[in-house]
A = this chain, B = another copy of it.
Amino acid sequence: MAEEVILLDFWASMFGMRTRIALAEKRIKYDYREEDLWNKSSLLLEMNPVHKKIPVLIHNGKPVCESLIQIEYIDEIWPDKNSLLPSDPYKRAHAKFWADFIDKKVNVTARKIWAKIGEEEEASKELIEILKTLENELGDKTYFGDETFGYVDIALIGFSSWFEVYDKYGNVNIESECPNLIAWAKRCLERESVAKALPKSEKITTFISELRKKLGFE
């Protein structure tokens, strides 16, 4: 059967970037459809009626929602190329723990820096603690899964394209606080899958600046 793969996404989403990277690692051709988040398509509302959020992966007509679940699904459906999760159950659980940590902590905290007024200072301190915890877990490994680029790297790398935004609005100097993480991000960006999925930082910073003006923050 010919595979039909559609991705409903938004270019600046660090969650969408995850799924783009996972599909690229597996060399899957897909139909990328950019969503207008202020005027969501009827397909998005139909495919993700519970959360109404991108990214949505539609595989042969059936939706898979939530980016981490999408990565696991992609890894299970196309197991031949570049395993994204380790096969050992303990290492899998360990990888899931860190992806879950990233999911629960990074965006929730980072949004308080640029999408709220008055919480920037506290959120910036909190974000540095979170990133230092990740820096500590990375240690001197090449990737989070040691020698192999995989699940945890994919879960985190999209945020690196937002670091400039966190620095601009929260004065979070990630480069000096977390040098290993910055070096890791550079290594990840050498991969074609990552380089193609991540927009330039300047583009995201401009987008957020315009969004903040619209919201009356600037």
Chain A contacts to B: CB under 8 angstroms: 50, 59, 62, 64-66, 69-70, 72-73, 76-77, 89-90, 92-93, 96-97, 100-101, 133
Given A89-B77, A92-B76: A97 touches B65 (CB 8 Å cut-off): yes
B69 near A101 with CB under 8 A, answer no
Q: Is the CB of B133 within 8 A of A50?
A: yes
Alpha-carbon distance A72/B76, docked complex (angstroms): 15
State the copy count for this chain: 2
A53 to chain B, nearest CB (A): 12
Q: How many Å from the CB of A216 to the closest CB on chain B?
A: 25
CA distance A50 to B100 in the complex (A): 12
**Judging by beta carbons under 8 Å apart, are B69 and A96 in contact?**
yes
Query: Can you list 26 contacts pairing A with B, beta carbon distance less than 8 Å?
Result: A50-B101, A50-B133, A59-B90, A62-B90, A64-B90, A64-B93, A64-B97, A65-B97, A66-B96, A66-B97, A66-B100, A69-B93, A69-B96, A69-B97, A69-B100, A70-B93, A72-B92, A72-B93, A72-B96, A73-B89, A73-B90, A73-B92, A73-B93, A76-B89, A76-B92, A77-B89
Contacts of A76 in B (CB 8 A): 89, 92
Taking A72-B92, A72-B96, A76-B92 as known contacts, 11 extra A-B pairs with beta carbons closer than 8 A to each other, sorted by chain A number, are: A50-B133, A62-B90, A64-B93, A64-B97, A66-B96, A66-B100, A69-B97, A69-B100, A70-B93, A73-B89, A73-B93
